[in-house]
Amino acid sequence: MKKRILTGDRPTGRLHLGHYVGSLLNRVKLQDEYETYVLIADVQALTDNFDNPEKVRENVLQVAMDNLAVGVDPKKSNIYIQSMIPEVADLTVYYSNLVTIARLQRNPTVKTEISQKKALFGEDGGSVTYGFLGYPISQAADITAFNADLVPVGEDQLPLIEQCREIVRKFNSLYGEVLKEPEALVGEVARLKGLDGNTKMGKSLGNAIYIGDSEEETIKKINNAVTDPNKIKKDDPAEPNVCMVAYYHSIFSKNEYEDICKECRAGVRGCVNCKRQLADNINNELSGIREKRKYYENHVDEVKEILKQGTANARIITKETLKNVKKAMKIDYFE
Protein backbone atom coordinates (compact mmCIF):
# COMPACT_ATOMS: atom_id res chain seq x y z
CA MET A 1 0.00 0.00 0.00
CA LYS A 2 1.18 3.50 -0.86
CA LYS A 3 1.95 5.93 1.95
CA ARG A 4 -0.19 9.01 2.20
CA ILE A 5 0.45 12.73 1.90
CA LEU A 6 -1.88 15.36 3.28
CA THR A 7 -1.13 19.04 2.80
CA GLY A 8 -2.76 22.25 1.71
CA ASP A 9 -3.23 25.97 2.06
CA ARG A 10 -5.62 28.55 3.41
CA PRO A 11 -7.56 30.23 0.61
CA THR A 12 -6.88 33.79 1.71
CA GLY A 13 -5.03 34.78 -1.47
CA ARG A 14 -3.33 33.32 -4.49
CA LEU A 15 -0.21 31.23 -3.90
CA HIS A 16 3.23 32.77 -4.34
CA LEU A 17 6.88 31.81 -4.82
CA GLY A 18 7.23 31.07 -1.09
CA HIS A 19 4.57 28.38 -1.39
CA TYR A 20 6.18 27.20 -4.62
CA VAL A 21 9.63 26.45 -3.18
CA GLY A 22 8.38 25.60 0.32
CA SER A 23 5.68 23.07 -0.43
CA LEU A 24 4.22 22.98 -3.94
CA LEU A 25 7.30 21.52 -5.65
CA ASN A 26 7.36 18.68 -3.11
CA ARG A 27 3.70 17.88 -3.71
CA VAL A 28 4.28 17.62 -7.42
CA LYS A 29 7.46 15.58 -7.04
CA LEU A 30 5.96 13.09 -4.58
CA GLN A 31 2.51 12.55 -6.06
CA ASP A 32 3.57 9.40 -7.92
CA GLU A 33 5.11 7.83 -4.85
CA TYR A 34 2.39 8.80 -2.36
CA GLU A 35 -1.39 8.77 -2.37
CA THR A 36 -1.84 12.53 -2.20
CA TYR A 37 -4.59 14.69 -0.73
CA VAL A 38 -4.37 18.47 -1.05
CA LEU A 39 -6.81 20.44 1.04
CA ILE A 40 -8.08 23.92 0.49
CA ALA A 41 -8.48 24.99 4.09
CA ASP A 42 -11.51 27.26 3.90
CA VAL A 43 -12.63 26.50 7.48
CA GLN A 44 -9.22 27.55 8.73
CA ALA A 45 -9.23 30.64 6.50
CA LEU A 46 -12.55 31.63 8.05
CA THR A 47 -11.07 31.55 11.56
CA ASP A 48 -9.64 34.98 10.88
CA ASN A 49 -11.73 35.96 7.86
CA PHE A 50 -15.18 35.12 9.22
CA ASP A 51 -16.26 38.67 8.35
CA ASN A 52 -15.17 38.27 4.73
CA PRO A 53 -16.60 35.00 3.37
CA GLU A 54 -16.54 36.35 -0.21
CA LYS A 55 -12.76 36.57 -0.09
CA VAL A 56 -12.46 32.97 1.09
CA ARG A 57 -14.90 31.67 -1.50
CA GLU A 58 -13.16 33.45 -4.36
CA ASN A 59 -9.76 32.17 -3.27
CA VAL A 60 -10.84 28.53 -3.06
CA LEU A 61 -10.82 28.50 -6.85
CA GLN A 62 -7.66 30.59 -7.09
CA VAL A 63 -5.73 28.19 -4.86
CA ALA A 64 -7.12 25.20 -6.73
CA MET A 65 -5.91 26.73 -10.01
CA ASP A 66 -2.47 27.44 -8.53
CA ASN A 67 -2.12 23.81 -7.51
CA LEU A 68 -3.24 22.54 -10.90
CA ALA A 69 -0.99 25.02 -12.68
CA VAL A 70 2.19 23.94 -10.90
CA GLY A 71 1.45 20.33 -11.77
CA VAL A 72 -0.65 18.76 -9.04
CA ASP A 73 -2.28 16.25 -11.35
CA PRO A 74 -5.95 15.49 -10.68
CA LYS A 75 -5.42 12.01 -12.13
CA LYS A 76 -2.94 11.24 -9.37
CA SER A 77 -3.84 13.61 -6.51
CA ASN A 78 -7.07 14.63 -4.85
CA ILE A 79 -7.71 18.33 -4.28
CA TYR A 80 -10.61 18.86 -1.88
CA ILE A 81 -12.43 21.55 0.09
CA GLN A 82 -12.09 21.32 3.86
CA SER A 83 -15.62 22.45 4.76
CA MET A 84 -17.11 19.73 2.55
CA ILE A 85 -15.67 17.06 4.87
CA PRO A 86 -17.88 16.99 7.98
CA GLU A 87 -15.81 14.21 9.58
CA VAL A 88 -13.00 16.72 10.10
CA ALA A 89 -15.32 18.95 12.14
CA ASP A 90 -16.29 15.94 14.27
CA LEU A 91 -12.67 15.01 14.91
CA THR A 92 -11.87 18.61 15.85
CA VAL A 93 -14.47 18.48 18.62
CA TYR A 94 -13.12 15.23 20.04
CA TYR A 95 -9.48 16.34 19.89
CA SER A 96 -10.26 19.65 21.59
CA ASN A 97 -10.49 17.79 24.91
CA LEU A 98 -6.88 16.69 24.51
CA VAL A 99 -5.29 20.14 24.21
CA THR A 100 -4.97 22.80 26.90
CA ILE A 101 -5.58 26.46 26.23
CA ALA A 102 -2.09 27.22 27.55
CA ARG A 103 -0.57 24.84 25.00
CA LEU A 104 -2.42 26.55 22.14
CA GLN A 105 -1.26 29.94 23.37
CA ARG A 106 2.33 28.68 23.38
CA ASN A 107 2.21 27.46 19.76
CA PRO A 108 4.87 29.61 18.03
CA THR A 109 2.95 29.90 14.75
CA VAL A 110 -0.21 31.01 16.53
CA LYS A 111 1.81 33.41 18.65
CA THR A 112 3.41 35.04 15.60
CA GLU A 113 0.05 35.39 13.88
CA ILE A 114 -1.50 37.00 16.94
CA SER A 115 1.30 39.53 17.27
CA GLN A 116 1.09 40.31 13.51
CA LYS A 117 -2.62 40.98 13.91
CA LYS A 118 -1.99 43.24 16.89
CA ALA A 119 0.62 45.16 14.91
CA LEU A 120 -1.88 45.64 12.07
CA PHE A 121 -5.11 46.34 13.95
CA GLY A 122 -4.03 47.40 17.44
CA GLU A 123 -4.58 45.47 20.66
CA ASP A 124 -8.31 45.43 20.04
CA GLY A 125 -8.40 44.36 16.39
CA GLY A 126 -5.99 41.65 17.38
CA SER A 127 -8.44 40.10 19.82
CA VAL A 128 -8.37 36.36 19.52
CA THR A 129 -11.46 34.21 19.00
CA TYR A 130 -11.96 30.72 20.33
CA GLY A 131 -12.05 29.50 16.73
CA PHE A 132 -8.74 31.08 15.81
CA LEU A 133 -6.91 29.91 18.91
CA GLY A 134 -8.15 26.40 18.23
CA TYR A 135 -7.17 26.13 14.57
CA PRO A 136 -4.16 23.90 15.33
CA ILE A 137 -6.65 21.32 16.59
CA SER A 138 -8.60 21.52 13.36
CA GLN A 139 -5.35 21.18 11.44
CA ALA A 140 -4.53 18.04 13.42
CA ALA A 141 -7.95 16.74 12.37
CA ASP A 142 -7.13 17.51 8.71
CA ILE A 143 -3.98 15.46 8.89
CA THR A 144 -5.17 12.53 11.01
CA ALA A 145 -8.46 12.19 9.13
CA PHE A 146 -6.26 10.68 6.39
CA ASN A 147 -3.80 9.02 8.75
CA ALA A 148 -1.22 10.85 6.66
CA ASP A 149 2.40 9.73 6.80
CA LEU A 150 3.91 12.87 5.36
CA VAL A 151 2.96 16.57 5.39
CA PRO A 152 4.95 18.73 2.94
CA VAL A 153 4.85 22.29 4.32
CA GLY A 154 6.81 25.49 4.69
CA GLU A 155 8.90 26.01 7.80
CA ASP A 156 6.25 28.19 9.47
CA GLN A 157 3.98 25.15 9.75
CA LEU A 158 6.35 22.97 11.79
CA PRO A 159 4.87 23.90 15.20
CA LEU A 160 1.45 22.87 13.88
CA ILE A 161 2.70 19.47 12.83
CA GLU A 162 4.38 19.08 16.20
CA GLN A 163 1.12 19.89 17.95
CA CYS A 164 -0.67 17.36 15.73
CA ARG A 165 1.85 14.70 16.79
CA GLU A 166 1.17 15.48 20.44
CA ILE A 167 -2.57 15.10 19.90
CA VAL A 168 -2.00 11.76 18.19
CA ARG A 169 0.10 10.47 21.08
CA LYS A 170 -2.43 11.65 23.63
CA PHE A 171 -5.33 10.12 21.70
CA ASN A 172 -3.57 6.80 21.23
CA SER A 173 -2.52 6.56 24.86
CA LEU A 174 -6.08 7.24 26.05
CA TYR A 175 -8.15 5.31 23.55
CA GLY A 176 -5.82 2.85 21.81
CA GLU A 177 -3.57 2.91 18.74
CA VAL A 178 -5.83 4.39 16.08
CA LEU A 179 -4.00 7.44 14.73
CA LYS A 180 -0.70 7.79 12.92
CA GLU A 181 1.99 10.33 13.89
CA PRO A 182 2.80 12.30 10.71
CA GLU A 183 6.20 13.56 9.62
CA ALA A 184 6.69 17.06 8.23
CA LEU A 185 8.68 17.60 5.04
CA VAL A 186 10.06 21.07 4.41
CA GLY A 187 11.02 22.15 0.89
CA GLU A 188 14.49 22.92 -0.39
CA VAL A 189 14.04 26.56 0.66
CA ALA A 190 12.44 26.30 4.08
CA ARG A 191 11.45 29.93 4.23
CA LEU A 192 11.74 32.24 1.24
CA LYS A 193 12.64 35.79 2.27
CA GLY A 194 10.79 38.72 0.74
CA LEU A 195 12.39 40.85 -2.01
CA ASP A 196 11.95 43.74 0.44
CA GLY A 197 14.31 42.07 2.89
CA ASN A 198 11.53 40.80 5.15
CA THR A 199 12.31 37.42 6.69
CA LYS A 200 9.32 35.92 4.88
CA MET A 201 7.45 36.31 1.61
CA GLY A 202 3.80 36.59 2.57
CA LYS A 203 0.55 37.70 1.05
CA SER A 204 -0.25 39.76 4.16
CA LEU A 205 3.19 41.39 3.99
CA GLY A 206 2.62 42.84 0.51
CA ASN A 207 5.93 41.51 -0.79
CA ALA A 208 4.84 38.47 -2.77
CA ILE A 209 5.43 37.43 -6.37
CA TYR A 210 2.40 35.30 -7.21
CA ILE A 211 2.54 32.23 -9.37
CA GLY A 212 -0.22 33.77 -11.46
CA ASP A 213 1.43 37.20 -11.82
CA SER A 214 2.14 38.37 -15.36
CA GLU A 215 5.70 38.70 -16.65
CA GLU A 216 5.39 42.48 -16.40
CA GLU A 217 4.22 42.37 -12.77
CA THR A 218 7.14 40.08 -11.95
CA ILE A 219 9.64 42.46 -13.58
CA LYS A 220 8.15 45.41 -11.72
CA LYS A 221 8.30 43.71 -8.32
CA ILE A 222 11.90 42.63 -8.85
CA ASN A 223 12.86 46.16 -9.87
CA ASN A 224 11.77 47.31 -6.40
CA ALA A 225 13.90 44.74 -4.58
CA VAL A 226 16.31 45.77 -1.83
CA THR A 227 19.96 45.78 -2.97
CA ASP A 228 23.26 46.72 -1.33
CA PRO A 229 22.65 50.31 -0.08
CA ASN A 230 26.33 51.15 -0.50
CA LYS A 231 26.17 50.63 -4.24
CA ILE A 232 25.28 53.95 -5.83
CA LYS A 233 26.69 53.78 -9.34
CA LYS A 234 26.42 50.98 -11.85
CA ASP A 235 30.08 49.98 -11.54
CA ASP A 236 30.49 50.32 -7.77
CA PRO A 237 31.55 46.98 -6.29
CA ALA A 238 28.87 45.55 -3.99
CA GLU A 239 28.19 42.74 -1.51
CA PRO A 240 25.74 40.05 -2.72
CA ASN A 241 25.21 38.81 0.83
CA VAL A 242 23.17 41.89 1.66
CA CYS A 243 21.28 41.99 -1.66
CA MET A 244 17.87 40.39 -2.05
CA VAL A 245 18.34 40.08 -5.82
CA ALA A 246 21.46 38.00 -5.26
CA TYR A 247 19.58 35.90 -2.68
CA TYR A 248 16.86 35.18 -5.24
CA HIS A 249 19.52 34.37 -7.86
CA SER A 250 20.87 31.74 -5.43
CA ILE A 251 17.48 30.02 -5.66
CA PHE A 252 16.23 30.72 -9.16
CA SER A 253 19.55 31.11 -11.06
CA LYS A 254 21.59 28.34 -9.41
CA ASN A 255 23.95 27.73 -12.33
CA GLU A 256 24.82 31.39 -12.77
CA TYR A 257 25.01 32.24 -9.09
CA GLU A 258 28.76 31.92 -8.58
CA ASP A 259 29.57 34.16 -11.53
CA ILE A 260 26.92 36.66 -10.50
CA CYS A 261 28.54 37.05 -7.06
CA LYS A 262 32.03 37.40 -8.56
CA GLU A 263 30.91 40.07 -11.03
CA CYS A 264 28.94 41.91 -8.34
CA ARG A 265 31.91 42.04 -5.98
CA ALA A 266 34.19 43.16 -8.82
CA GLY A 267 31.86 46.02 -9.74
CA VAL A 268 31.27 44.76 -13.28
CA ARG A 269 27.56 43.96 -12.83
CA GLY A 270 24.94 46.67 -12.83
CA CYS A 271 21.80 46.23 -10.74
CA VAL A 272 19.45 46.97 -13.63
CA ASN A 273 20.74 44.08 -15.72
CA CYS A 274 21.09 41.85 -12.71
CA LYS A 275 17.41 42.36 -11.83
CA ARG A 276 16.41 41.81 -15.43
CA GLN A 277 18.28 38.52 -15.53
CA LEU A 278 16.50 37.37 -12.36
CA ALA A 279 13.10 38.38 -13.73
CA ASP A 280 13.85 36.48 -16.96
CA ASN A 281 14.82 33.35 -15.06
CA ILE A 282 11.76 33.41 -12.83
CA ASN A 283 9.49 34.18 -15.77
CA ASN A 284 11.04 31.30 -17.73
CA GLU A 285 10.56 28.88 -14.85
CA LEU A 286 6.93 29.93 -14.50
CA SER A 287 5.98 30.32 -18.16
CA GLY A 288 4.54 26.82 -18.60
CA ILE A 289 2.84 27.06 -15.23
CA ARG A 290 1.23 30.38 -16.09
CA GLU A 291 0.04 29.04 -19.42
CA LYS A 292 -1.62 26.13 -17.63
CA ARG A 293 -3.15 28.53 -15.13
CA LYS A 294 -4.66 30.52 -18.00
CA TYR A 295 -6.22 27.32 -19.30
CA TYR A 296 -7.93 26.66 -15.97
CA GLU A 297 -9.00 30.30 -15.61
CA ASN A 298 -10.86 29.78 -18.86
CA HIS A 299 -12.26 26.39 -17.78
CA VAL A 300 -13.56 27.07 -14.28
CA ASP A 301 -16.20 24.35 -14.58
CA GLU A 302 -13.43 21.83 -15.03
CA VAL A 303 -11.78 23.10 -11.84
CA LYS A 304 -15.04 22.74 -9.93
CA GLU A 305 -15.46 19.21 -11.22
CA ILE A 306 -11.93 18.33 -10.08
CA LEU A 307 -12.73 19.67 -6.59
CA LYS A 308 -15.97 17.73 -6.48
CA GLN A 309 -14.28 14.49 -7.42
CA GLY A 310 -11.34 15.12 -5.06
CA THR A 311 -13.73 15.80 -2.20
CA ALA A 312 -15.71 12.62 -2.88
CA ASN A 313 -12.49 10.57 -2.89
CA ALA A 314 -11.30 12.22 0.31
CA ARG A 315 -14.51 11.41 2.15
CA ILE A 316 -14.09 7.71 1.58
CA ILE A 317 -10.99 7.87 3.79
CA THR A 318 -12.26 10.35 6.40
CA LYS A 319 -15.46 8.37 7.00
CA GLU A 320 -13.40 5.29 7.74
CA THR A 321 -11.13 7.21 10.15
CA LEU A 322 -14.06 8.76 12.01
CA LYS A 323 -15.60 5.32 12.39
CA ASN A 324 -12.40 4.00 13.97
CA VAL A 325 -12.07 7.04 16.22
CA LYS A 326 -15.64 6.78 17.51
CA LYS A 327 -15.25 3.09 18.11
CA ALA A 328 -12.08 3.67 20.14
CA MET A 329 -13.87 6.38 22.13
CA LYS A 330 -16.82 4.08 22.75
CA ILE A 331 -19.31 6.42 21.09
CA ASP A 332 -20.22 4.14 18.19
CA TYR A 333 -23.73 3.55 19.54
CA PHE A 334 -25.65 2.10 16.61
CA GLU A 335 -22.87 0.04 15.06
Residue 268 CB, nearest distance to ligand TRP (Å)? 42
Q: Is the dihedral of CA 225, 226, 228, 232 positive or negative?
A: positive
Name the DSSP class of 210. Answer: B
Residue 170 CB, nearest distance to ligand TRP (Å)? 18
209 vs 261, beta carbon nearer ligand TRP: 209
61 vs 219, beta carbon nearer ligand TRP: 61
Q: Which residue is nearest to ligand TRP (CB)?
A: 41
43 vs 261, beta carbon nearer ligand TRP: 43
44 vs 321, beta carbon nearer ligand TRP: 44
Residue 11 CB, nearest distance to ligand TRP (Å)? 9
202 vs 270, beta carbon nearer ligand TRP: 202
**Contact of 180 with 147, CB cutoff 8 Å:** yes
Residue 266 CB, nearest distance to ligand TRP (Å)? 42
183 vs 302, beta carbon nearer ligand TRP: 183
Residue 127 CB, nearest distance to ligand TRP (Å)? 20
Beta-carbon-side half-sphere exposure of residue 95 (alpha carbons within 13 Å)? 30
314/292 Cα distance (integer angstroms):
25
Chain residues in the site for ligand TRP (CB under 6 A): 6-10, 39, 41, 44, 139, 142-143, 151, 153, 157
Residue 182 CB, nearest distance to ligand TRP (Å)? 8
Burial 251-281 (b: 16+ CB within 10 A, else e): bbbeeebeebbebbeeeebbbeebbebbbbb
Residue 44 CB, nearest distance to ligand TRP (Å)? 5
Q: Single out the residue of 137, 127, 154, 157 nearest to residue 48, CA to CA.
A: 127
**Contact of 149 with 117, CB cutoff 8 Å:** no
34 vs 247, beta carbon nearer ligand TRP: 34
Phi, psi (degrees; rounded to nearest 5) at 118:
-65, -40
**Rounded-to-10 torsion of CA 197, 202, 203, 204:** -80
